[in-house]
Structure 1
Amino acid sequence: MSFSHAAQELFVTQSAISHHIQKLEADLGVALFERRTRAIALTPHGEAYYAKVRDAFELLRLGTEQIRSRPAGKTTLTVGLLASFATRWLAPRLRAFSATHPGITLQLRPEIALANVAAGEVDVAIRYGRGGWPGVRAQRLMPERLSLVCAPSLVTGKKRLREPQDILRFPLLTSYSNNSFEWDGWAKRFDVDLGQTQMVQLHDYNIVVEAALAGQGIAMGRHHLIARQLTSGELVQVLPEAILDDARVGWWLVTPKGSLSGAAAAFRDWLGEAARQDGLDETH
C-alpha cells in the first residue's frame, strides 16, 4: 500500500510505479487505487483483483525460490548402455567421476535395445561392437580382447581343450544381440563349423558370465568386463592362443551429431581417460 516502498523494492522511481499503475488501470478499464493525500487504498475493484492475482504471484515466488535453492550448476546427463558394461566396468569408477565433476549427475539407462541417441532418448550412449552406426558420431573408447573362457572345473584333466574343434563338445554361452558377431567371427577365424553345436542364448552378458562361473559352458570372454574373474582364477582362458583379434571390436562412445553440451563433453573426456588407464593396466 505504498508506491514509494514498491519503487524502493523494484529499484525504480516512484513516478515509474505510478505510471505503470495508471497503464494497468487504463488497460483494465477500472480504478484499482483510491489516491488520498498521504496514502492510497484499494478500491472494490482493486480488492477483487488482488484476491485473484495474489495466488498467482505466490506461485511465481515459490517457483523462483525452488530454482534458486537447487545446487548451483547441477546437471543431469542420461547415458544409455548395456547393463553388463554398467555393472562390470563403469559402476566401480563412478565415484571417481563424481569427485571430479560434482555438478554432473549421471543417470544410467541400461538396456539391450539401444536407446536412440540421434532422437534424444539419451544424451550419450556407450555401445559395444564394430562401429558404423548411422546418424551419430562414434568414438572408440577401447578395443575389446575376446577369448574363450569358462570355469576351471569344466576343462580339467581329459576334458582339456587342445584345438578349436574341441569346443564342439561343450555348450557355448551367448547373449542376445541385435548384431551378433562374436561366435560367428571366431568360428570363421578358426575354421570351426558351429552348425551342430549347442548354443545357449541368454538375455544379457551378465547372465553369460554367471553361467560360465557356474560351469554351464564356454563363453566368449570380454576381457574388460571379466578382468576380476580372470585375475582371481574364477574364469580361465581355454585355447588362449585362439583370440578373436578384430581391431574394430570394442567399446564406443556414441553422441549426437553437432556440438556437445558441457556435461557431455566432460563425461567424454573423463571416460576417454578412464579407458586409457584401463588399457595401461592391462599391459602391466
Structure 2
Amino acid sequence: MELHQDLPPLMALRAFEAVARHLSFIKAAEELSVTQSAISHQVHKLEQSLNQPLFIRRTRAIDLTPAGERYYRKIQPALASIAAATRELRGDEQQPITLRIGLLASFGTLWLAPRLAGFNARHPQIHVELLPSVQLADVSAGEVDLAIRYGKGGWPRVQARRFMAEKLTPVCSPAFKAQGVDKGPLLMAKSHQPFEWIDWSARNAVDLAHYPSVMLHDYNIVVEAAVAGQGIAMGRQHLIERRLKEGALVEAFDTPPFTGEIGYWLVTPERPPSDAAQCFAQWLSDIADT
C-alpha cells in the first residue's frame, strides 16, 4: 500500500496538533496565522478522514476525546521530528524557541532568576518567558508550557513532580525578636490554605490560635515586611537564604527546621512535553538544592 494513501493533509495535522496542544481553536488560529473558521474546517476534515470525533466541544472549553488523545500522542513526536529535520537541513536548528513558564513572583525573583543564566548558557536557542501570577496558570489549557508550583501536589489534569523540597522555620527581624514574639502577628502570603503554619504548628505542638495574622499579596511582600520588623514570616529556606546570611532575618522560635510534603513542583500537561520543556525539566533537576 502506498504511504500517501494513509496520510491526511499536512494542514489538517498542523491544525489538529495546535488545537490539541492549546486546547483552544482561538490560540491555534493565532499561532498558525489563519482564521478560527479555517482551523475548525481543517479539524473537521481530519475527523471526517478518521471517521470519528477528536474533540469534545463544550460551551467555553474543549477537550480531547480518548481517540483524539491517543492520536495526538502518536503524531506530535512525528511532527516534532519533521520540524527538527527541516530546521537542520535549512541550517537554522538554533532558531529561538519561546518557553512560557507560570510561577509565583517570589520564586522567580528569589530563586530562579539568579540561576537562569545557567540555563540560557546551556540552551541559548530557548527563550524563557516567566509569567508570574498569584493565580495558578492553566497548564492543561496551554496558557503556559509548564509551571512551577509551591505546595503539596495533587493538582488535577496535569502531571506534577516535586523537584525540590522546602525547609520551613518561622523568622523575623532581630529587633522584632528582641521585643518579643509572643503576640505575633503572623505574616502570610495569599493562599487557598495556610498549610505552612498548619503543618509547622502540628509538628512542633505550638498553639497559634491567639496569634493574629496579616494576609499579604505574595511572599516577596511577606519577606520584606518581616525584614522591616512587621511580624513573623514562615521562612522558606531556599528563598530567604541571603536574608539569613545577612542577618536581616533570624529564627523566631527555638524549633528545628521543618521538612514535610511541601516543596516546589514542576507541572506539565498530561500530553507529551515539548523538547524545550524537557530541557528545562532536566536543568531544574540538575540544579535543585544548589
TM-score, scaled to structure 1: 0.67
**SS across alignment from 1:105:** strand
Q: Which residue of 2 aligns with 1:175?
A: 189
**SS across alignment from 1:255:** strand
Quick one: which amino acid aligns to residue 281 of structure 2? R
Q: Which residue of 1 aligns with 2:133?
A: 111
Alignment partner of 1:203 is 2:217? yes
TM-fit CA distance, 1:198: 1.2
Give me the whole-angstrom Cα distance separating, in 1, the residues matched to 2:147 and 2:239: 17
Q: Which residue of 2 aligns with 1:125?
A: 147
- Residue pairs, 1:263-278, within 5 angstroms: 263-276=276-289, 278=290
Q: Which residue of 2 aligns with 1:85?
A: 107
**SS across alignment from 1:144:** strand
TM-fit CA distance, 1:69: 12
The question of whether the paired residues in 2 share the 8 Å contact of 1:148 and 1:221 is answered with yes
**SS across alignment from 1:89:** helix
2:123 corresponds to which of 98, 101, 108: 101
- Residue pairs, 1:50-61, within 5 angstroms: none
Quick one: which amino acid aligns to residue 165 of structure 2? P
The question of whether the paired residues in 1 share the 8 Å contact of 2:216 and 2:222 is answered with yes
Runs of 4+ in 1 over 6 A off after TM superposition: 68-71
Q: Looking at CA atoms only, which structure, 1 or 2, has the larger radius of gyration?
A: 1
Quick one: which amino acid aligns to residue 250 of structure 1? G
2:198 corresponds to which of 168, 181, 184: 184
Q: Which residue of 1 aligns with 2:240?
A: 226
1:245 corresponds to which of 259, 263, 266: 259
Change in CA separation of 1:240 and 1:275 when aligned onto 2, cut-off 3 Å: farther
- Residue pairs, 1:21-100, within 5 angstroms: 72-100=94-122
**SS across alignment from 1:169:** coil
Give me the whole-angstrom Cα distance separating, in 2, the residues matched to 1:74 and 1:179: 39
Give me the whole-angstrom Cα distance separating, in 1, the residues matched to 2:121 and 2:218: 30
Give me the whole-angstrom Cα distance separating, in 1, the residues matched to 2:256 and 2:184: 16
Give me the whole-angstrom Cα distance separating, in 2, the residues matched to 1:191 and 1:72: 55
Residues 140-169 of structure 1: per-residue CA shift (max 9 Å, x gap): 11100000101011112xx45xxxxxx541
The question of whether the paired residues in 1 share the 8 Å contact of 2:172 and 2:226 is answered with yes
**SS across alignment from 1:114:** coil
Residues 212-252 of structure 1: per-residue CA shift (max 9 Å, x gap): 00000010000100010011111111224243331x11001
The question of whether the paired residues in 2 share the 8 Å contact of 1:148 and 1:240 is answered with no
Residues 240-265 of structure 1: per-residue CA shift (max 9 Å, x gap): 4243331x110010011132111000
Change in CA separation of 1:100 and 1:72 when aligned onto 2, cut-off 3 Å: closer
Residue identity (%): 51
Give me the whole-angstrom Cα distance separating, in 2, the residues matched to 1:70 and 1:215: 54
Aligned residues: 201
Give me the whole-angstrom Cα distance separating, in 1, the residues matched to 2:196 and 2:115: 26
Q: Which residue of 2 aligns with 1:9?
A: none
Quick one: which amino acid aligns to residue 155 of structure 2? W
